[in-house]
Structure 1
Amino acid sequence: MKGYIAASSLPAKRRWKGHAVAVLALVFFSLLVPLAFLLGLHNRFPSGYLSDERSSSESVFENYAHVDAGPEQNHSEGGQSRVHGLIDRFKPPIPKDVPENFTKKPLTEFSNGGMPFTSQPKDAMSYSKPKHITSRGPTTEQVVAPKVSSSLNARNDRGNRKENHPKGAAGDEIEKPCQLEFGSYCIWSMEHKEVMKDSIVKRLKDQLFVARAYYPSVAKLQGQDNLSRELKQNIQEHERMLSEAISDADLPSFVGKKIQKMDHTIAKAKSCTVDCNNVDKKLRQILDLTEDEAHFHMKQSAFLYHLGVQTMPRSLHCLSMRLTVEYFKTSLQDIERLHAQKLNNPSFQHYVLFSRNILAASATINSAVMNAEKSGHMIFHLVTDGQNFYAMKHWFARNSYKEATVRVLNFENVKLINFYNLGRRQLSPSEEFRVSIHDIARSSPMQLRTEYISVFGHSHFILPELFKNLKKVIVLDDDVVVQRDLSSLWNLDLEGKVNGAVQFCGIRLGQLKMYMRGHSYNGDSCAWMSGLNIIDLERWRERNITGNYLGLLQKFQNGSEASWRASALPISLLAFQDLIYALDDAWVQSRLGHDYGVSADAIKNAAALHYNGNMKPWLELGIPKYKSYWKKFLTKEERFMDECNVNP
């Protein structure tokens, strides 16, 4: 029995010793790993007080009108020159054993895209939002997509976002790639760019930038514990001040002493013999994270800009709701009944608008009436949706426009929608598309220009049946302001064409061949613009434009709202090919919703102004110098405008 006990106790003792060794090993490594992180012995992450902790939910704005960037583009080298300046200013003494051919590694490079999207062929085209939310020669074009609601999307892996970007030779090369990614937000942000202020805050950040770069290297040196502790303390103090201060006025009174103290500490760190590669590597890591953060905030700003463009301002929403409530509280005379004999009389001048915006439609109608020689012959047919129908009815019953008659129609009550099997009962005003073009004829392939082209929405294609007794109508968009009498258009001979429109030869149909689904067309034909169009309804019926439209609609849309809206561009261009009568360019001056460079003379000489683009005049984001041409046609002293604080 004793022999059995002795024999069995020996393995037990050995097992106990094995557990003890394992526990000691775990204790040793648990102390070693934090020490390695503290001393910056790892290669993947920066050490010290700068971390690269970014949650997986940290997002990047998906450009709602993204264009395939085509040739590789590059950022400005301003950030690199600044970093090199800081390196030169605070550079440590180079050890004697560094080889003479030592050179700096290139800074981390970023792509200007970096956004998740399904890969598309070059010159990919996507389509744009309806406007109401808001050099000829060889070119290669890229047409962009519907400005549907953008969202913040999960951030891409950084390794997939790095590209080389050759430096642009001029400011335009820097601006245009920015437009590709952020759209007209870039133009707006540059126009409203503020001068750099708060130099003390900037200096604190620069000091913190350099101190963080030196800290890991100093912490590794033997006998420099005091310096390492001092550097760490200064970093913490700077971080604390910057966390509570945005401008120089927010800084504490003793900030000067803190700056001098940090300068002294950095000078001592420079006097130490440190590995230049470590400092350089650390600077690059910090720059990488800083640029990432700046790029992320740029995308957030662009998202908020586009959100402001696409959503109805609160004041306009208030105006629509107040007018709707007032419509059911009061009983005003029905203008349509008083002028019923005029509404379908082809001897009068009939104008058609499709709009959801009360203020915009009112300004367009008022501008046309104020500049007309005889307003008594003018009949305006305003087609809107059910949500704004009663508000529109009450507004135009309360306000008169000289002798002109305004008729409001509810598109959702039109029985023709079901008759033509359009599939969607929602109102579809003119659709607007952002187009970015590479001009081969220009000196640099990076030269781009961005245009906004608007075409008829789906609702326009029931015009002949909506107005069966009329022979001719003028179609206006609600972002148009009229400056001249339009009566001469009624006597214009369209030479057998259907649609009199201003042509836009910056885009030709041949450049859009990949989106025409094999349909035959004249590749040299110019695109055309909605905004101000004279329509021959008799020729429309003879040519069966509506029937052709319905056939094209079945081929270009798959039942989803996105494809339905996206099909507006190719369908409009194909349905009216060879049926466009080119109006003189003096009739319409466009670009007032996205171009800051339109001259005052061009505006003055135009018969109509078209605010195509994101920056509509009724938005706070509208271009200020063009707003006055629109605001002078607003209805004055309207009670509901004052109560809803409507002041565009």
Structure 2
Amino acid sequence: MKDSFEQGLPGDENGKSCQLQFGSYCLWSVEHKEAMKDYTVKKLKDQLFVARAYYPSIVKLDGMEKLSLEMKQSIQEHGHMLSEAISDADLPDLHRVHMAKMDQIIAAAKSCAVECTNVEKKLTQLLDMTEDEALFHAKQSAYLYRLGVQTVPRSLHCLSMRLTVDYFNASADMEHLDAEKFENPACQHYVIFSTNLLASSMTINSSVINSEESANMVFHLLTDAQNFYAFKNWFIRNSYKGATVRVINFEDFQVKNLDNGIVEQLSPSEEFRITYNNNALKRTGYISMFGHSLFLLPELFSNLKRVIVLEDDTIVQRDLSLLWNFDLKGKVIGAVQFCQVKFHQLRAYLPDFPYDSSSCIWMSGVSIIDLDEWREQDVTGIHHQILQKLRRDTEDSWRDAALPAGLLAFQDLIHPIESQWVQFGLGHDYGLAHGAIKKATILHYNGNMKPWLELGIRRYRKYWKRYLPRDEVFMMDCNVNP
């Protein structure tokens, strides 16, 4: 997950808003906001703050010696109670008497002709201290949230390791694939780039379960060397209604077939959080874009004419045959466009290449690819030229380049798929209607809150969990239960 454009687009107003500063953590924190606990302790602290603000002014007033003494005593009593009480249960039995007394003292202080400037200054100092403390805790919580959504859960790491060890301990490779299907144009070919074993298997499982002719489906699953044997073992152990699943080590392919050095390691699709104006309202959304590895599709599948690329955070709810036969009308790629955001709204991130500022951006969650047209238009070459201009030495800049490179390389080469095919936002939008979710052919969990994470949006998780294998030994051993 790439949470780029963290501060929103240049020129945005209200740049200090919660989502601009902390992203989807704000949505998550609102949804998981707990009822206020220890209300009495908080009330005591508020009284203490106000009393301390008025006390310096009351002490200076003539004839207010009694009030200033009472205020001083109440401040000390409150301070003593709060020094020994963290929660309401820790408070002494007489705390309500002290609170009522403090309310009377504060009311009396407010009725005095005190110097407002001094009181305001003191309250402002207390407010600043409180805001600083709140901001500190917000930053700390947002950091822990981002760490949680970007870290592979221990159970999934265990699953991958156990499968890898089991693969090498097996007496023989029991893999039996119909190799003739790999390049058979009569089959439906689906491509997934992923390092997430469980997520990619769920995409495949949901696709074949809802397919009318699953035996005609071929899934080409590309992963890295670290995960290759775990992936391979998993798909040896599990069957998918006659569908063929071919696991490919991307790094091995690079060594054997390519010497251009453009993409040395697996670079799956990237996600970017963007902020944009829509009808004078500022909104935040997540868009997915091809990673650099996907621009090698024509070389990876040199004998194929068409593939459908699925991202591993998608779930298929209907038969994909109609999508496979979709007429691209001479375009390279069929994808859902996101016309709430146009190129001109991202101009600060686009290099000095010519582009139509009114063009819509597109989402890469589900993409139909005409590989012959891709080769004819030399999309890979265009992408390489853009990267040469954008590329920096750091890994972050290399990933950030996926957004402008993906948008510019496919400019004017996209045929729009009707938005009803895909329901986006299940990884960041709490407001999606269940009716729209059920009607969609494909669900895309784009956003930080993936369904396999503890921080995933619970109300959408059921659509994903229904495709979980229930009797896989290694999942039980590793306590994999999203």
Residues 63, 181 of structure 1: 8 Å contact kept: no
**Structure 1 range deviating more: 402-411 or 320-329:** 320-329
Residues 9, 346 of structure 2: 8 Å contact kept: no
Partner of 2:246: 407
Residue 582 (1) aligns with residue 416 (2): yes
Query: Using the alignment, how far apart are the partners of 1:229 and 1:614 within structure 2?
Result: 55
Residue 211 (1) aligns with residue 51 (2): yes
- Compared with structure 1, are the counterparts of its residues 645 and 204 closer, same or farther at alpha carbon in structure 2 (3 Å cutoff)? same
The AA in structure 1 aligned to 2:154 is R
- How far did 1:640 drift? 2.0
The AA in structure 2 aligned to 1:310 is Q
What are the equivalent positions in structure 2 for 1:479-628 lying under 5 Å apart?
479-628=313-462
- How far did 1:553 drift? 1.2
Match for residue 308 of structure 2 among 455, 464, 474:
474
Match for residue 145 of structure 2 among 286, 298, 305:
305
Residue 65 (1) aligns with residue 6 (2): yes
| Matched residue SS, 2:467 | coil
Residue 437 (1) aligns with residue 276 (2): yes
Query: Using the alignment, how far apart are the partners of 1:553 and 1:624 within structure 2?
Result: 38
The AA in structure 1 aligned to 2:6 is A
Query: Using the alignment, how far apart are the partners of 2:156 and 2:84 within structure 1?
Result: 38
The AA in structure 1 aligned to 2:45 is K
The AA in structure 1 aligned to 2:194 is S
- How far did 1:281 drift? 1.8
Query: Using the alignment, how far apart are the partners of 1:309 and 1:218 within structure 2?
Result: 52
Query: Using the alignment, how far apart are the partners of 1:456 and 1:476 within structure 2?
Result: 11
| Matched residue SS, 2:192 | strand
- How far did 1:243 drift? 4.6
Match for residue 283 of structure 1 among 123, 135, 154:
123
Residue 379 (1) aligns with residue 218 (2): yes
Larger gyration radius, structure 1 or structure 2: 1
Residue 353 (1) aligns with residue 192 (2): yes
Residue 362 (1) aligns with residue 362 (2): no
- How far did 1:227 drift? 6.2
**Structure 1 range deviating more: 601-610 or 365-374:** 601-610
| Matched residue SS, 1:570 | helix
Residues 417, 425 of structure 1: 8 Å contact kept: no
Unaligned runs of 5+ in 2: none
Residues 435, 453 of structure 1: 8 Å contact kept: yes
- Compared with structure 1, are the counterparts of its residues 530 and 219 closer, same or farther at alpha carbon in structure 2 (3 Å cutoff)? same
- How far did 1:230 drift? 5.6
Query: Using the alignment, how far apart are the partners of 1:72 and 1:519 within structure 2?
Result: 27
- How far did 1:332 drift? 5.5
- How far did 1:224 drift? 7.1
Partner of 2:39: 199
- Compared with structure 1, are the counterparts of its residues 536 and 196 closer, same or farther at alpha carbon in structure 2 (3 Å cutoff)? same
Partner of 2:28: 188
- How far did 1:370 drift? 0.3
Query: Using the alignment, how far apart are the partners of 1:264 and 1:522 within structure 2?
Result: 68
The AA in structure 2 aligned to 1:452 is Y
| Matched residue SS, 2:340 | strand
Query: Using the alignment, how far apart are the partners of 2:296 and 2:428 within structure 1?
Result: 30
Residue 390 (1) aligns with residue 224 (2): no
- Compared with structure 1, are the counterparts of its residues 68 and 295 closer, same or farther at alpha carbon in structure 2 (3 Å cutoff)? farther
Partner of 2:464: 630
Q: Indicate the percent of aligned positions where both proteins have the same amino acid.
A: 61
| Matched residue SS, 2:295 | helix
Partner of 2:19: 179
| Matched residue SS, 2:267 | coil
| Matched residue SS, 1:414 | helix
| Matched residue SS, 1:415 | helix
Query: Using the alignment, how far apart are the partners of 1:607 and 1:290 within structure 2?
Result: 49
**RMSD, matched Cα:** 2.6
Alignment TM-score, normalising by the size of structure 2: 0.92
The AA in structure 2 aligned to 1:386 is A
- Compared with structure 1, are the counterparts of its residues 268 and 508 closer, same or farther at alpha carbon in structure 2 (3 Å cutoff)? closer
What are the equivalent positions in structure 2 for 1:18-37 lying under 5 Å apart?
none
Query: Using the alignment, how far apart are the partners of 2:108 and 2:410 within structure 1?
Result: 76
Residues 4, 400 of structure 2: 8 Å contact kept: no
Partner of 2:474: 640
- How far did 1:260 drift? 3.8
Residues 484, 608 of structure 1: 8 Å contact kept: yes
- How far did 1:427 drift? 1.5
- Compared with structure 1, are the counterparts of its residues 591 and 414 closer, same or farther at alpha carbon in structure 2 (3 Å cutoff)? same
Residues 434, 451 of structure 1: 8 Å contact kept: yes
Residues 9, 275 of structure 2: 8 Å contact kept: no
Residues 334, 397 of structure 1: 8 Å contact kept: yes
- How far did 1:590 drift? 0.8
Partner of 1:317: 157
- Compared with structure 1, are the counterparts of its residues 316 and 245 closer, same or farther at alpha carbon in structure 2 (3 Å cutoff)? farther
Residues 63, 182 of structure 1: 8 Å contact kept: no
Residue by residue over 1:174-233, the C-alpha shift from the partner in whole angstroms, topping out at 9 and shown as x without a partner, is xxx321122111112222223334332232122111121123334556787786566445
Partner of 1:259: 99
**Structure 1 range deviating more: 241-250 or 578-587:** 241-250
Residue by residue over 1:67-93, the C-alpha shift from the partner in whole angstroms, topping out at 9 and shown as x without a partner, is 2574653xxxxxxxxxxxxxxxxxxxx
Q: How many correspondences in the alignment?
A: 480
- How far did 1:449 drift? 1.5
Residue by residue over 1:360-407, the C-alpha shift from the partner in whole angstroms, topping out at 9 and shown as x without a partner, is 111100000100011111111111112211211122122111211211
Partner of 2:133: 293
The AA in structure 2 aligned to 1:306 is R
- How far did 1:601 drift? 1.7
The AA in structure 2 aligned to 1:301 is S
**Structure 1 range deviating more: 463-472 or 62-71:** 62-71
Residues 207, 319 of structure 2: 8 Å contact kept: yes
Residues 416, 462 of structure 1: 8 Å contact kept: no
**Structure 1 range deviating more: 316-325 or 563-572:** 316-325
Query: Using the alignment, how far apart are the partners of 1:453 and 1:395 within structure 2?
Result: 30
Query: Using the alignment, how far apart are the partners of 1:550 and 1:416 within structure 2?
Result: 19
- Compared with structure 1, are the counterparts of its residues 267 and 499 closer, same or farther at alpha carbon in structure 2 (3 Å cutoff)? closer
The AA in structure 2 aligned to 1:381 is H
The AA in structure 2 aligned to 1:361 is S
The AA in structure 2 aligned to 1:255 is H
Query: Using the alignment, how far apart are the partners of 2:36 and 2:13 within structure 1?
Result: 30
Residue by residue over 1:551-590, the C-alpha shift from the partner in whole angstroms, topping out at 9 and shown as x without a partner, is 2211111232222111111111121112112112221111
| Matched residue SS, 2:438 | helix
| Matched residue SS, 1:641 | helix
